[in-house]
Amino acid sequence: MMRCFSYAQKRLDKCVFGEDKPACKQCPVHCYQPTRREEMKQIMRWAGPRMLWRHPVLTVRHFIDDKRPVPELPEKYQRKK
């Protein structure tokens, strides 16, 4: 479990959106490797319902963050035409 946490932490630290980061499922940039992405999906499916009971305020904040629009990709990371 700690291995997943440290991997996720590294990915968040390197996120091109910084503090304006959208929820991973809505993000246009997939920074997780495909195998890790599936692993994280399984973890979220397990943890999601439990988060509601253990951390209701964080759950509400997460739902609000899900509704935010995805910010524009920084120019440095946009595809060249």
Name the residue ranges covered by the structural domains of the chain. 26-70
Cα of first residue to Cα of last residue in the chain, in angstroms, is 41
Task: With H, G, I as helix, E, B as strand and everything else as coil, classify residue 75.
Answer: helix
Looking at residue 52, its amino acid is L
Show the CA angle centred on residue 62, arms to residues 5 and 64, nearest 5°.
Answer: 155
Q: How far apart (Å, rounded) are the C-alpha atoms in residues 81 and 36?
A: 31
The pLDDT value given to residue 74: 74
* Residues 26-68: tens digit of each pLDDT: 888 888 888 888 988 898 899 888 999 999 999 898 888 888 8
pTM: 0.65
